[in-house]
Amino acid sequence: MTTRPPPRGGPKGRKPPSGKFPPYGERARTGPRTSARDAAERAARNRGDDAGARDPWTAPGTPHAVAAAAAAAAAAKPRPRPARAERDDAAPPRKAPPRPSARPAAKAYAKPVESRPAAQPSPPAAPAGPTRREQRAAASATLASGVQTLTVEADEAGMRIDRFLTARFPLLPFTRVQSIVRKGELRVDGKRAKPNDRLEPGMSVRVPPLRLDQPTERPRSAAREQDDAEFIRSLILYEDADMMVLNKPFGLAVQGGSGTVRHVDGLLAALTGPDGQKPRLVHRLDKDTAGCLIIAKTRLAAATLAKSFRSRAARKIYWALTAGVPRVRQGRVSTYLAKDEPTDADARMRVAKHGDEGASHALTYYAMVDQAAQKLSWLSFKPVTGRTHQLRAHAAHIGHPIVGDPKYFSVENWELPGGIQNRLHLLARRIVIPHPRTGRPVDVSAPLPQHMAQSWNLLGFDASRYDPIVEAPES
């Protein structure tokens, strides 16, 4: 039995009618299928070679050869650059042909290259931030119409909350600052703040509406600033790149207040450097107390010196002329002090009991240096704490108030000896504090003010006499 070969031709083994298939080389392209010949021709055209020279299977004169020659001639003619969506065989050579996409080409891609928008210029560099002087001026000049939230900077670490507000808002009176803190209108990280609270970097301080008065624009007098600068420089007892110690005169306030126009803090503005750094107060003295006053030249030095005061690393010695002679020549005074009028920043301090509202512990050591006719004494004080009017209140508490003290001198039937002026006889004589940069002690002494020097001469006191208070305890 013979086996028939498999059918050839069209479907179901039937032969196609004659003339249905075109001759070889003229077959219609019915799909995306690509033969080896088509790929070779396209690659040759891309290289610029003659496709016929590399076509060993096409004989000259065949329909395919004629079509290839026509295509090569058409490719040699210059053509306008087609749109991106129309590029096919004329596209530049690529390492790998792109994958066919089922999505139609978007109309946006068919735009000529010349229609592309020009490249946008790069934005200018951001300007430098405002200086600290500009920040302070902006804070002072801006009317506070609502609640503000301030962030504590790194160089404000360790500052008291009231000093922080005074530094941020120089136009705000210190009495107003104390009132804000006392009434609980200030919040630090959401908690009620106390006047002696210390701030740390990153803390959030909520400030109520301040109702600042609009500052009046006054012309700055160069001659006035020069006079203020010369006056401050005439008071310098010690100075270096980080700090200076002033000999504050009697009657000059340290900070501004109600009715106080001329004060040390305002005069220091005349020494503001080119970088906007204004010298800063580190501690305070009463208006009628003369002597050593420490000033920091930078905020970092101010923070370091303030920590020295808080940690009691600073040593202070005061001289005073008191009424009467103490029976105990050297002693210790330890009490609690509170204000008679809590709302008054300069109120008289009274001796209070432990647990009383606003009462703070105060500790002072004293020693008698000399005395005159059992009527007057030269006392030397070493305060351990730093309360308001501490030495004046303690001197009155032991029965020997300071001569010329308008608040605490209440001795009946007592008159000033002839030649002694009715001024507060209290001097911040000496201060020893670690240097904010090196840590080495800075020891500075202030001379007697004019009215005290007159009393010392009248009573025969020798200012160079040994001071026994240096042997007193320091804590």
- Give catalytic residue positions: 286
What does the block give as tokens for 69? 């020659």
Among candidate residues 192, 199, 187, 204, the one with its CA nearest the CA of residue 159: 199
3-state DSSP assignment of residue 291: strand
Alpha-carbon span 181 to 359, nearest angstrom: 16
Alpha-carbon span 188 to 210, nearest angstrom: 16
Phi/psi for 459 (5° steps) reads -90, -5
320 burial level (CB within 10 Å; 0-12, 13-18, 19+): buried
Alpha-carbon span 245 to 295, nearest angstrom: 6
What does the block give as tokens for 418? 């002839």
Q: How many residues does the chain have?
A: 475
Beta bridge partners of 316: 431
3-state DSSP assignment of residue 441: strand
Phi/psi for 156 (5° steps) reads -105, 15
Segment (H or E) for 459: helix 450-459
Per DSSP (E only), the strands in 305-413 are 315-323, 330-339, 349-352, 360-372, 376-383
Alpha-carbon span 271 to 274, nearest angstrom: 10
Alpha-carbon span 392 to 407, nearest angstrom: 9
Beta bridge partners of 321: 378
What phi-psi label fits residue 12: left (phi over 0), alpha (psi between -120 and 50 degrees) or beta? Answer: left
